[in-house]
Structure 1
Amino acid sequence: MCSETKVFSKRNDFNAGERTVNRKRIKILPDIASSSSSSAAGPDLFDSLPDDLVISILTKLSSSATCPSDFINVLITCKRLNGLGLHSMVLSKASQKTFAIKAKNWSESAHRFLKQCADSGNVEACYTLGMIRFYCLQNRGSGASLMAKAAISSHAPALYSLAVIQFNGSGGSKNDKDLRAGVALCARAAFLGHIDALRELGHCLQDGYGVRQNIAEGRRFLVQANARELASVLSSASSSVTSIPTRQWLTWNPLPHPHPHPHPQLRHLTGSGCPLLSDFGCNVPAPEAHTASRFLAEWFAARGGAAPGPGLRLCSHVGCGRPETRRHEFRRCSVCGAVNYCSRACQALDWKLRHKAECVHVDRWLHDDVNGDVGGEGDDNVNGAVDGGGVIADS
């Protein structure tokens, strides 16, 4: 009996101990469950990153973005990234492709974003928004001020665009033209390597337009512009025509005029295939238009291809997009009278691109003169019959 009693009491002690352990186990289970769930999700290390490091990463992203969505997708990720992504340092380094907004997507929020980038000191944003305000929104003063802000920071496209405005007296009357200021701005942009400015300055020197005539020096600038353009195409690693063998770019073309049907892989480019050096046997693709120029072209194309106002015309060079700000502001071809250009550079580009093969003499000029269509402020005529892209002949 004693032995059975001892065994029974030991069994009761064991059961009591087990119940005690079970109670402790039940009490500990919620803590284990919570700790296991947190370890499975992992600690949120992003919140522990310092703001300076995140801003540095976002700055690198904005400067290397290839389209607006690359940057916008980061801004909508979380509240912290949205706040740090709009930091002035991040916006000041954003590339032009970050705010390469299509004209059909233009909105007040897009305008505010571009304005915020410009206020942060982004010269590309200053130039792009300046062009949009000056030509599309017809806010001349604000647009010119933004372009001047970019030009002060040695932004070559802004310097050249201001030169075009000075040459044409855009936004004012014909008496507001300042040819000497235009030449000075062109010279500064050419010094910075802007190809269109080099070409414009070359024509000014050849013709004595706003500067003392120097034909030899002008020709040197024109040759330099062609050489720089060829070098930029060959060195562009991101060019969309890299799949085309370089040998096809530099094939000798014995025809007196460029072939009217370019390589099929070049047709999607702005201006299709552009043999700018066809005089020397080279057939290079057209240069890529700036973000601002593409926006202008899309803006007016969406409005039926009409300039903002009755009797106003768009520049006939497809890679330009500039409209007239008054009647007869641009120069037209003195042979056919069917095309008009904002500058000699655009005329030279379009001449090599397509107009050389299309330009034919017509009698429409006499009809226009009789009806007084040309009178106005007096168009300066672009002579498309001269090989090499046109000579300005003041009427």
Structure 2
Amino acid sequence: MSVLVPRAQVMIRKKKKLRFSRKIVEKSDPFESLPDDLVICILSKLCSTSTCPSDFISALLACKRFNGLGHNQLVKSKAGPKLFGMRAKNWSDSAHRFLKQCVNAGSVEACYFLGMIRFYCLQNRGSGASLLAKAAIRSHASALYSLAVIQFNGSGGGRSVKDLRAGVALFARAARLGHIGSLRELGHCLQDGYGVRRNIAEGRRLLTEANIRELSPVFPSVPLSYPCPGCSTTSHYGGRHKTHHHNNRSLLNPQCQHVDQQVMTVSGSETGTGCSLCNDFCCNMPAPEPDPVNLFLLEWFGLKGEDPGPGLRMCSHSGCGRPETRPHEFRRCSVCGRVNYCSRGCQAHDWKLRHHRQCTPAEDRPDGGRR
């Protein structure tokens, strides 16, 4: 018994030291003193502004409390679009489950992202369209645009399920939210009288507005004064030089006889970088950042090697990724017949990016248009 007493005392001392050290660690954690509401607010802000999924995951792994409160419904409901920017090769049941949890929490971005994946990748048309509609009801511009494309093409059904009027209405709603693709699509519809009464002037106005919105990120980097290449004097934005007005709108005017070389340099045309999204107006701009959903679709059907189905084609626009849901759903180029597009917006983008250099009438090609 005399031998066991010292050992018992040693064990008691060790336990006391362990409890004391734990208290020190707990007191040294600054987040433990913060109220739950404040931590949830911080995590919600981080969730909405994350530039990639790893940003949010790293925060959850920072401490045990973050990991616990990070699964709060309010945090998941604030998820931003880039939080779901996962790679198609990393798609798994756990990723699907996380997206469903965010949808149940009320995240609009999760509804849109999961809706697109289910509709096009998993071929669950009803569930995908339902999620897209849920996001569209809450004024998600990209979801409105995607639903409009589905209505225009009759995706997921036959040609008889096309609803051009519904598509135009959805494009109009997205255009009011400033969605550039919807502005361009609606402009073409008005010009051609496709699904709506023809109004050429209004269609051109919408197309011009779409180009203005595309060029708006470029203008802040352009100097306010610069030498005019058409004459020897200096022009200013907002000022007047003879009959040539140098302001944001005049650079988009096709009647303009000369465009400032410095603007062309800023927009990337001299170096050959960027994309010619505004060739109609003699001005280039950097390629827009692709949507995470479109990147996922491109990788799913491209790098992953998934086949959209027998006789089905992909949209020829390199930044789209939408596949056909039935044969001959997309419209072909009326000149060469070698490319096909899910929408007029994709056709306009691809024409200015590359197809204007590749499009050759079938009768002028060496193969006689057989390919």
Where on the TM-score scale, by shorter chain, does this alignment land: which range? Answer: 0.7 to 0.9
Distance in 2 (alpha carbons) for counterparts of 1:180 and 1:151? 17
Q: Residues 168-183 of structure 1: matches in 2 within 5 Å?
A: 168-183=153-168
Match of 2:132 among 147, 166, 171: 147
CA contact (8 A) 2:268 2:286 kept: no
Distance in 1 (alpha carbons) for counterparts of 2:98 and 2:268? 45
Q: CA deviation at 1:61?
A: 1.1
- The amino acid of 1:299's aligned partner reads W
Distance in 1 (alpha carbons) for counterparts of 2:320 and 2:14? 69
Is structure 2 residue 50 aligned with structure 1 residue 49? no
CA contact (8 A) 1:307 1:313 kept: no
CA contact (8 A) 1:251 1:281 kept: no
- Percent sequence identity over matched residues? 65
Aligned length: 315
Q: CA deviation at 1:79?
A: 4.2
CA contact (8 A) 1:312 1:327 kept: yes
Distance in 2 (alpha carbons) for counterparts of 1:87 and 1:75? 12
Is structure 2 residue 333 aligned with structure 1 residue 333? yes
CA contact (8 A) 1:249 1:282 kept: no
Distance in 2 (alpha carbons) for counterparts of 1:34 and 1:68? 37
Task: Tell me the residue number matched to 2:265.
Answer: 248
CA separation of 1:191 and 1:357: change in aligned 2, threshold 3 A? same
Distance in 1 (alpha carbons) for counterparts of 2:320 and 2:136? 19
Secondary structure at 1:276 match in 2:
strand
Task: Tell me the residue number matched to 1:280.
Answer: 281
CA contact (8 A) 1:332 1:338 kept: yes
Task: Tell me the residue number matched to 2:249.
Answer: none
Q: CA deviation at 1:126?
A: 0.6
CA separation of 1:303 and 1:310: change in aligned 2, threshold 3 A? farther
Secondary structure at 1:74 match in 2:
helix
TM-score, with structure 2 as normaliser: 0.78
Task: Tell me the residue number matched to 1:301.
Answer: 302
- The amino acid of 2:272's aligned partner reads P
Larger radius of gyration: 1
Q: CA deviation at 1:288?
A: 1.6
CA separation of 1:210 and 1:367: change in aligned 2, threshold 3 A? same
CA contact (8 A) 2:218 2:266 kept: no
* Bigger shift: residues 42-51 or 152-161: 42-51
Q: CA deviation at 1:76?
A: 3.3
Q: Residues 135-214 of structure 1: matches in 2 within 5 Å?
A: 135-214=120-199
Unaligned regions of 5+ residues in structure 2, if any? 1-12, 222-261
CA separation of 1:92 and 1:235: change in aligned 2, threshold 3 A? farther
CA contact (8 A) 2:44 2:76 kept: yes
- The amino acid of 1:288's aligned partner reads E
TM-score, with structure 1 as normaliser: 0.74
Task: Tell me the residue number matched to 1:262.
Answer: 272
Task: Tell me the residue number matched to 2:290.
Answer: 289
Q: CA deviation at 1:341?
A: 0.1
Task: Tell me the residue number matched to 2:112.
Answer: 127
Is structure 2 residue 218 aligned with structure 1 residue 230? no
Match of 1:69 among 43, 54, 66: 54
1:84-128 superposed Cα distances (whole Å, 9 cap, x missing partner): 101111111111111211101100101111111111111111101
Task: Tell me the residue number matched to 2:347.
Answer: 347
Secondary structure at 1:302 match in 2:
coil
Task: Tell me the residue number matched to 1:361.
Answer: 361
- The amino acid of 2:361's aligned partner reads H
CA separation of 1:314 and 1:46: change in aligned 2, threshold 3 A? same
CA contact (8 A) 1:249 1:285 kept: no
Distance in 2 (alpha carbons) for counterparts of 1:216 and 1:307? 42
CA separation of 1:318 and 1:36: change in aligned 2, threshold 3 A? same
Distance in 1 (alpha carbons) for counterparts of 2:19 and 2:370? 90
| CA-based RMSD | 2.7
CA contact (8 A) 2:362 2:369 kept: no
CA contact (8 A) 2:185 2:344 kept: yes
CA contact (8 A) 1:168 1:330 kept: yes
Q: Residues 97-136 of structure 1: matches in 2 within 5 Å?
A: 97-136=82-121
